[in-house]
Amino acid sequence: METLKVASFDRLTTLMERFTLQLIPADPERATLVASVDEAGMPSHILFGASGIGRGIDPGKVLLSVAVDWGGVDNPLMAALPKRFEFALAQDVEMASVVGLMRSELIAGRCGAASVINRLGEVLIVRLLRAQIEAGSAGPGLIAGLSDPRLSRAIVAMHDQPGLEWRNRDLAVIAGLSLSRFAETFMTLVGETPAAYLRRWRLSLARQDILKGDRVDAVARRYGYGSPEGFARAFRQRYGRNPLDVRLRAPNLADAVDK
């Protein structure tokens, strides 16, 4: 195995860079993120989670109501979030200010508002995710894994260098745990083996690259598969489609053929 390069440690940066985040205005019945005000009209809470999370909130108290699109099920962090996460804005003046700016952009509808809202949305989501990671998770999943200070180092290493031939003993060294303790802790907190998690992560990234039009054999090598055939089998098992078919139907390639 080549020399490991674990020079920095950041639980969220790679996830933010690999998945495009978009906030779409939505009514509370369909929104996945809703900010509300209290009786005095001051920012009170953010609810973040499943679609319709704002159902039942007095419309007069809704400050912001949007649907968050951040890679869908391919983003392991979104898939690991609880169905309902509540954050008190009264405890964070900076977060309340971000929400206020987002609301102003939505109401004003000025040139470039959508881009500004998405950039502010990234700030908001990162801070919400930090709070969730710090709080931990009641059940197994990526949030629970990233909440563990030792296990998270191994997860970040896989996120940052998905093409390496990761072995449990290498990841255990990064985590600072014995091999047996690492494997046991990973399974308990994340809910699957390191190999299974790495396989899902690689295939999620591979699907993104194929949709961009990258060649199947290049993607297979990029993510540590010994042959395009082995990669194709794993891809079909995960997505039910051959990667070459997905590539040929990718929007950018389809547009090129049409022209």
Task: Give the CATH number for residue 180.
Answer: 1.10.10.60
73 and 43 in a single domain? The answer is yes
For residues 193 and 243, membership in a common domain is answered with yes
> What's the average model confidence in pLDDT over 2-11?
53
Nearest-5° Cα angle at 147, 97 to 77? 70
Using 50, 70 and 90 to split pLDDT, how confident is the model at 138?
Answer: low
pLDDT of 7 above 70: no
Q: Please choose, from the candidates 141, 211, 155, the residue with its C-alpha nearest in 3D space to the C-alpha of residue 9.
A: 155
Of 77, 105, 135, the residue that ends a domain is 135
Alpha helices (H) in 176-227, listed in sequence order: 179-190, 194-211, 216-222
| Percent of the chain whose pLDDT exceeds 90 | 66
Of 72, 104, 135, the one marking the end of a domain is 135
Q: For 165-218, how does the pLDDT look when each residue is reduced to its tens digit (9 = 90+)?
A: 999 999 999 999 999 999 999 999 999 999 999 999 999 999 999 999 999 999
pLDDT of residue 78: 82
- The angle, 0 to 180 degrees and rounded to 10, between the axes of the packed helices 93-108 and 113-135 is 150
Assess whether 25 and 122 both reside in one domain: yes
| pLDDT 10s digits, 45-102 | 999 988 999 999 999 999 999 999 988 778 888 878 888 889 999 888 999 999 999 9
pLDDT band for position 110 (cuts 50, 70, 90): confident
**pLDDT band per the 50, 70, 90 thresholds, residue 252:** low
Please check the confidence at residue 3 and state whether its pLDDT lies above 80. no
Whether residue 43 lies inside any domain: the answer is yes
Q: How many domains does the chain have?
A: 2
- Domain containing residue 41: 13-135
pLDDT for the residue numbered 11: 85
Domain endpoint, select from 92, 107, 135: 135
CA distance 188 to 179: 14
Question: What is the structure's pLDDT at 190?
Answer: 95
Q: What is the mean pLDDT of residues 230-240?
A: 95
- Tell me whether residue 112 is in a domain: yes
Supply the pLDDT for residue 191.
94
User: How high does pLDDT run on average in the chain?
Assistant: 89
**126 and 150 belong to one structural domain:** no
177 and 97 co-located in one domain? no
